[in-house]
């Protein structure tokens, strides 16, 4: 036999008072008599009454839910990000609705639409690697549902975003390799439409130019981050007349595959060929052949900051007049040199 979750109505009926009185009594409204107040609060406690969030939505137009859309949770980068989001959400008494796009634009659109229909108060988004137009996202802003992007952010200016300074980190990475004597540096990059990938390429070129090292475009390969494509990229790089002595990979997962391939090709890691990567996954500590260095991108901090911005936007009495000031926060990365 099931009980119902207690409602104000029930409390009111039992005490033979009106629902409105019960409501006010719960909120310690001054116009309610002390006796009634204590009676109501007492009974509420006994029954374990707590207000129905779903019902509250009507009056307050707030669901107290933030939506999170990201490519996948499998990557530790994103599960750490979730922790940052959850932390801030909790502080603000919010819950987190999660959807994974699995790097599929259609799924991303669907998820975001579902979240709209659930009337999430705001959204934290890291876009899929193939997302090129952002209409499904900017549309939400029209409905006054703020969206803050992190890490995988769109390359447009009229959105709020928090991202890692890939350009700067990449410069450091390339300089680090050059200082270690490398002149032939390969890049296994992601799709060049991704903002961060373009920054990698640009930074790479910039440093080589500064250091007066000849740029060889056959050293820069674009992939879709799958293991298959990584292997193909390695084949391509290794069969060059003058193959690279160091390779920068777009992230540690790709680095792992690339290193695996290099080992199969009988290359000595960190001797015949060096790898530098991004993400600085904890798991690399357990590897016999980790990348030589990896750029820590602080996913927790990125996501935390993005969520803080979201709550700033939510708490702002949204003045239609005021011109929107779009936030663009950069979280500096750090090149972590792994001790051998």
Contact residues for DNA, defined by CB under 7 A: 4, 7-9, 16-21, 23-24, 26-27, 31-37, 49, 51-52, 55-56, 58-59
In the complex with its own copies, the residue whose CB is nearer, 213 or 287, is: 287
Residue with token string 């293991």: 227
Which residue in 115, 148, 159, 254 binds its own copies (CB under 8 A)? 115
CB of 101 to its own copies, least distance (A): 11
CA atoms within 13 A on the CB side of 64: 16
CA atoms within 13 A on the CB side of 131: 29
51 near its own copies, judged by CB under 8 A:
yes
| Cα distance between residue 300 and residue 309, in whole Å | 14
Q: What's the length of the chain?
A: 340
In the complex with DNA, the residue whose CB is nearer, 19 or 96, is: 19
Inter-residue contact 80 to 301 (CB < 8 Å)? no
| Cα distance between residue 76 and residue 82, in whole Å | 10
CB of 25 to DNA, least distance (A): 7
Give the ranges where 120-216 is alpha helix by DSSP (H): 135-142, 166-179, 195-210
| Cα distance between residue 281 and residue 294, in whole Å | 8
CB of 146 to DNA, least distance (A): 18
Which residue in 215, 283, 336, 337 binds its own copies (CB under 8 A)? 283
Of these partners, DNA, its own copies, none, which one is at the site of residue 231 (CB under 5 to 8 Å by kind)? none
**What string of DSSP letters covers 265-326?**
TTPPBTTTBEEEEES--GGGGG-SS--SEEEE--HHHHHHHHHHHHHHHHHS---SSSPP--
Inter-residue contact 79 to 73 (CB < 8 Å)? yes
In the complex with its own copies, the residue whose CB is nearer, 186 or 299, is: 299
324 near its own copies, judged by CB under 8 A:
no
In the complex with DNA, the residue whose CB is nearer, 23 or 114, is: 23
Which residue in 118, 209, 268, 316 binds its own copies (CB under 8 A)? 118
The backbone torsions φ and ψ at residue 116, rounded to the nearest 5 degrees and listed phi first, read -60, -45
In the complex with DNA, the residue whose CB is nearer, 21 or 230, is: 21
Which residue in 241, 320, 323, 340 binds its own copies (CB under 8 A)? 320
Residue with token string 């709020």: 160
CB of 168 to its own copies, least distance (A): 28
CA-based nearest residue to 302, from 78, 32, 48: 78
201 near its own copies, judged by CB under 8 A:
no
CB of 13 to DNA, least distance (A): 10
Cα of 251 vs its chain's centroid, Å: 15
264 near its own copies, judged by CB under 8 A:
no
Which residue in 15, 17, 19, 97 binds its own copies (CB under 8 A)? 97
Residues interacting with its own copies, by CB under 8 A? 1-5, 50-55, 57-58, 63-65, 72-74, 76, 79-80, 82-83, 86, 95-100, 113-119, 142-144, 256, 259-260, 283, 286-289, 318, 320
């Amino acid at each position: 036999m099931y009980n119902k979750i207690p409602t104000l109505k029930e409390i009111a009926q039992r005490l033979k008072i009106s629902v409105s009185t019960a409501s006010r009594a719960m909120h310690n409204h001054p116009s309610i008599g002390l006796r009634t107040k204590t009676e109501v609060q007492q009974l509420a406690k006994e029954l374990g009454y707590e207000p129905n969030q779903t019902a509250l939505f009507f009056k307050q137009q707030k669901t107290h839910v933030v939506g999170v859309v990201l490519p996948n949770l499998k990557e530790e980068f994103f599960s750490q990000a979730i922790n940052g989001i959850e932390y801030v959400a909790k502080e603000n008494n919010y819950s987190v609705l999660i959807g994974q796009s699995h790097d599929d634009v259609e799924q991303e659109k669907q998820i975001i639409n579902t979240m709209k229909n659930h009337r999430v108060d705001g959204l934290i988004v890291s876009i899929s690697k193939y997302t090129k137009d952002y209409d499904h996202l900017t549309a939400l802003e029209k409905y006054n549902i703020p969206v803050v992007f992190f890490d995988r952010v769109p390359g447009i200016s009229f959105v709020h975003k928090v991202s890692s300074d890939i350009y700067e980190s990449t410069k450091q990475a390339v300089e680090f390799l050059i200082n270690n004597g490398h002149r032939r540096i390969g890049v296994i990059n992601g799709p060049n439409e991704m903002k961060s990938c373009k920054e990698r390429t640009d930074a790479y070129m910039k440093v080589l130019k500064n250091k007066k090292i000849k740029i060889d475009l056959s050293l820069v390969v674009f992939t879709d981050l799958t293991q298959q494509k990584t292997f193909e990229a390695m084949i391509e790089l290794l069969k060059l007349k003058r193959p690279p002595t160091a390779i920068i990979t777009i992230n540690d997962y790709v680095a792992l595959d690339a290193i695996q391939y290099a080992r199969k090709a009988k290359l000595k890691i960190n001797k015949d060929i060096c790898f530098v990567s991004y993400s600085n996954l904890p798991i690399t500590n357990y590897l016999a052949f980790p990348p030589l260095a990896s750029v820590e991108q602080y996913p927790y901090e990125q996501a935390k900051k993005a969520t803080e911005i979201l709550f700033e936007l939510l708490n702002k009495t949204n003045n239609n007049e005021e011109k929107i000031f779009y936030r663009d926060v950069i979280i500096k990365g750090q090149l972590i040199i792994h001790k051998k």
